[in-house]
Amino acid sequence: MASELTKKRVLLVGDDASVRLTLVALLRGIEVDVFEATDAARGLQSFEAQKPDAVLIDLAMPGRNGLELLEEIKRRAKRTPVIVISGIDKIDDTIEALRRGAWDYLAKPIHDIATLEDAVFGTLEWARTMAHYPKPNESEDFSNEIEKRIRQLEMSRDRLRQTEKLRAIGQLAGGVAHDFNNLLGGISGYAELARLHVEDGSKPAKFLDGIVAMVRSASDLNSKLLSFSRMGPVKVVAFDINEVVRDVVDLISHSFDKKIEVEASVAHPPQFIRADMAQLESALINLAVNARDAMPEGGKLTMGTSRHTIARDERAPDEPPAGQYVRVIVRDTGVGMAPETVEHVFEPFFSTKEGHWTGLGLAVVHSAVEEMGGYIRVESAPGQGTTVALFLPPYSK
C-alpha cells in the first residue's frame, strides 16, 4: 500500500464528467492523488499549482484543446509524462499527440483498473528512469518506443476503416439479401408450378429442373450474405469452446479426404466463452474448409484452443489489445498466401479460387468474431501454411 509520502499525484483534465468520474474512482483504487480540471485553461492553472507527477488529458475536449494543452505542458515541463485518453473516433488526434510528446494513450471506454494502473505506473517509472539515469541514447530509445506506438495505432486505424467498410457492405448486402430471398421464393415457386404442367423427361422439364437447382444455389449464397450482415437469428449462451472444437474436428475428420490429417489440441481446463454457438461452429468450419482447399496434396490441419494473455508492454504491433483471451487457432500446412492476398482476405467476394466459391467465407468469420467482441488475425507465407487465430473474450461466471 502506498504511503501518503510516496503517493503519486496525477492531474486529470477532461470536460466529460462521466469519464472523469470513472477515472477518478479507478485512480483512487490504485492509490494516487487525483486533481481534476474541466477544461484546458483550468488544467494549465492546476498544472502550475499542483506540479503533478503525471497528467491525463481527455482528447474529447472541444476542438484541439487537448493537443494544445499537451504542447503547453511539454513546453513548461518536458519531463512530466502525459497520457492521452481517446475514443476510436480520435485516432488521428492520438497519433498526433504521440508525435507531440505524449508518452502513452488509453482507449475509451476504460473500465479495467489493470490497464490504467499499467499506463500510469509504467509512465511514471519511465519518467523516473529518464530523470535519474539519463543514458546517452535515451532520446533514441524514447523515439523508437514512440514510433512503435504510432505504428500500432496506425494499424488499428486502418483496421477500423476496414471494419467500417465491411459493416457498410454488410448492411447493404443484408438489405438486398432480404428482398432477394422473396424474389427467389417466387421464382422457384413458379418454376415448380410450371413443372407440374410439363411431361417428365421432356426438354422443358429438364430446363425447369435446372432453374429450381440454380435457385437453390442462389438461396445458399443468399443465406451467407444474410449471416455476413448479421441479420440471421443470434442465440448467445455461455459454453466450453473445447467441446465445439472437438465436435468440429470430429465432423471434418470424417468428411475430409484422408490425405489430410486432422488434429485437435485443446487447452485444459475448459475454456468458457459467451457467444452464438452455431455462429462459432460455422466460423470454424469455414476456416477448416479454407485449410482443406489450401492442401490439395494433403497435409495437416490443427485446430486448437489455449488461454492467452497479451501484456501491454510485450504486445507485438499486430496483436489485439492487451488483455486475457481464449485463443482458437486453425493451422494448416498448405500453400499459404502472399502478403498481398492476406491483405484482402476479409473483403467480401474476395476469392482466388475458381469455380463455385463466393469469397464470403472469411468476411462472415470476421463479422462473427467481431460480434463476439473478439479479434481475428491471419499469419501466412507462400509455401509455409496458414494460421488463423481468433482471440475471444473469456467468460467467467
Ligand X SMILES: Nc1ncnc2c1ncn2[C@@H]1O[C@H](COP(=O)(O)OP(=O)(O)OP(=O)(O)O)[C@@H](O)[C@H]1O
Residues that bind ligand X (CB under 6 A): 290-291, 294, 332, 334-337, 341, 345, 350-353, 357-363, 386
* Residue number with CB closer to ligand X (295 or 372): 295
Q: Report which of 332, 374, 337, 331 is spatially closest to residue 352, judged by C-alpha positions.
A: 337
Q: Which does 335 bind (CB under 5 to 8 A by kind): Mg ion, ligand X, none?
A: ligand X
Residue matched to cell numbers 497435409: 299
Q: Report which of 35, 34, 31, 36 is spatially closest to residue 4, judged by C-alpha positions.
A: 31
Gap between the Cα atoms of 32 and 3, Å rounded: 10
Q: Quote the least distance from Cβ 351 to ligand X, whole Å.
A: 3
Q: Does 336 bind Mg ion (CB under 5 A)?
A: no
Q: Does 123 bind Mg ion (CB under 5 A)?
A: no
- The span of 209-217, 259-267, 286-294, 303-311 binding Mg ion (CB under 5 A) equals 286-294
Q: Which does 392 bind (CB under 5 to 8 A by kind): ligand X, Mg ion, none?
A: none
Gap between the Cα atoms of 53 and 362, Å rounded: 47
Find the helix packing angle between 361-371 and 277-293, rounded to 10°. Answer: 150
- Measured in whole angstroms, the distance separating CA 383 from the mean position of its chain's CA atoms is 27
* Residue number with CB closer to Mg ion (108 or 366): 366
Q: Quote the least distance from Cβ 315 to ligand X, whole Å.
A: 25
Q: Quote the least distance from Cβ 348 to ligand X, whole Å.
A: 8
Question: Phi-psi bin for 101: left (phi > 0), alpha (psi -120 to 50), beta?
Answer: left
Residue 281 makes CB contacts below 8 A (sequence gap 6+) with 244, 247, 248
CA distances from 203 to 191, 212, 217 (A): 14, 15, 22
- The span of 43-51, 146-154, 290-298, 381-389 binding Mg ion (CB under 5 A) equals 290-298
- Contact string 358-397 vs Mg ion (x = CB under 5 A): ---x------------------------------------
* Residue number with CB closer to ligand X (190 or 357): 357
Q: Which does 272 bind (CB under 5 to 8 A by kind): ligand X, Mg ion, none?
A: none
Q: Quote the least distance from Cβ 40 to Mg ion, whole Å.
A: 51
Q: What are phi and psi of 277, to 5 degrees?
A: -60, -40
Q: Does 290 bind Mg ion (CB under 5 A)?
A: yes
Q: Which does 265 bind (CB under 5 to 8 A by kind): ligand X, Mg ion, none?
A: none
Size of the site for Mg ion (CB under 5 A): 2
What is the helix (H) or strand (E) element at residue 243, kind and residue range?
Answer: helix 241-255
* Residue number with CB closer to ligand X (298 or 359): 359
Gap between the Cα atoms of 107 and 146, Å rounded: 16
Residues 317/152, Cβ–Cβ less than 8 Å:
yes
Interacting residues with Mg ion (CB under 5 A): 290, 361
